[in-house]
Chains A and B, each alone.
Chain A
């Protein structure tokens, strides 16, 4: 039986949409970028190499907690040990990537992006979706989207670790402080973008003050809420540039670790 815009009592129009603009462009672009990122990050996670170039560590592999990690890369020990999968050591990236992956997958902005571009639910506003049934986020697996705040909390811990990585990137391989290199700036920019992405998150906005019923009784939290609200209006921007930032940072570290590129010094203070 026909449903949706083709339901019996609605205006009988055979087109799924009458939009004349290029409504397909945005979902197509989003699909392309996210798909490319998924391919690249999967390749890097499986590569299990070129993620440590003293003092630089790739964000895909930090913190490196497994005994499979290369020497010097484990700033926080190797409590996980090693897991064999099909006779091969499981890449340390897999222990870590689940957190940023979960955080981005359940993020309110990315949900919009991939529901539109991957699942076409809907592909664009006022463009009929192809699915016959729809239950939204009311049952498994999509009900798990409600776990966003848990990934937010874990993501904050990861941000602290990546900030630590950025700070120690100002050391020389001999352990002397004050060495500003392209790598240290890249890691600093990456950590900054990740903080902006996390702090502009809707869950952060809710936790910091959004859940209040009386702003007037909590002036400090209200002030914090107004600041996070300003950041929140740019959340999609931070979502994108922090995604590019992570990939480019990893790519830079990979190039340095593989010897294709030298971590150029800028100045020493």
Chain B
């Protein structure tokens, strides 16, 4: 059985824009993206929206629904009360291109700044061997679908445009953590890079990235805080520093 819902959809571009109100029919089992597609088909044929898999795995349909960063394809309409007005806006941390589509190229620029996995020189592809317990740890971070909801909600750049230059954001902290915890990665100074070049110290661990992650990756507890602790090991813990000089032991 269908129900009527009011939608407030932000429409505009990087110069100007405003909310447009529409009333739309919603059927049982539908998600916000279905409704936006219906609006596009029946009332706003030029509404711009980015989407792809409709299954919560491509990370394309990131937007803000009632002010919360969400995937439109994973936000069920039955989570709203009948008659409630649902407000839909583009991601508010990135420049808008048109309507619900934003320019997320900041993230790709930051991705290129993270040095890739570097295996030992004497190992050829196909010869990498890891124990299951070591694989499992970084496997969690590989679930990332790059929806950039964590980047969008992080107040370091959301509320301070000027920090984009020096701060890479939670998505890339999990990438750095994944590589720093990789037993075969030979780059030793990822911790220092995270702190000095990617702005790890700017994170004040308020956990919004974890709250919005649709893959339920424990970004703060399993990646950012462990990386902060590893930075403390090399920068703020004289006993650890002294121990590493005496034992000359790395890659434990």
A interface vs B, CB < 8 Å? 3-5, 7-13, 17-21, 108, 111-112, 115-116, 121-122, 125-129, 131, 133-138, 142-143, 146-149, 202-203, 206, 210-218, 222, 232-233
Contacts and interface: CB of A to CB of B under 8 A. Distances in A.
Contacts of B64: 18, 126
Contacts of A125: 68-69, 153, 206, 208, 211-212
Contacts of A215: 131, 133-134, 137
B202 A138 contact: yes
19 contacts: A4-B158, A10-B93, A11-B92, A12-B12, A12-B16, A18-B67, A18-B89, A19-B68, A108-B205, A112-B205, A115-B206, A125-B153, A126-B153, A129-B155, A134-B155, A148-B232, A149-B229, A210-B226, A232-B221
Given A128-B155, A136-B199, A215-B131, 11 more contacts: A3-B161, A7-B161, A18-B87, A19-B68, A111-B204, A126-B153, A133-B160, A134-B156, A211-B233, A213-B183, A216-B183
Interface of B: 10, 12, 14, 16-18, 64, 66-69, 87, 89-90, 92-96, 102-103, 130-131, 133-134, 137, 153, 155-156, 158-163, 180-183, 199, 201-208, 211-212, 221, 225-226, 228-233, 235-237, 251-252
Contact of B68 (A126, A147, A211): A126
Contacts of A233: 221
Secondary structure at chain B's binding surface: helix, strand, loop or mixed? mixed
A233 B207 CA distance: 14
A17 B233 contact: no
Contacts of B205: 108, 111-112, 115
Given A12-B16, A136-B203, A216 B134 contact: yes
A214 B236 CA distance: 23
B236 to A, nearest CB: 4
4 nearest interchain CB pairs? Answer: A216-B131, A18-B67, A136-B202, A19-B67
Contacts of A13: 10, 17, 89, 92
B146 to A, nearest CB: 19
A12 B235 contact: no
Nearest to B207: A112
Nearest to B133: A215
Given A136-B204, A211-B229, A129 B159 contact: yes
B69 A134 contact: no
A11 B90 contact: yes
A129 B227 CA distance: 25
Nearest to A215: B133
Contacts of A143: 201
A3 B160 contact: yes
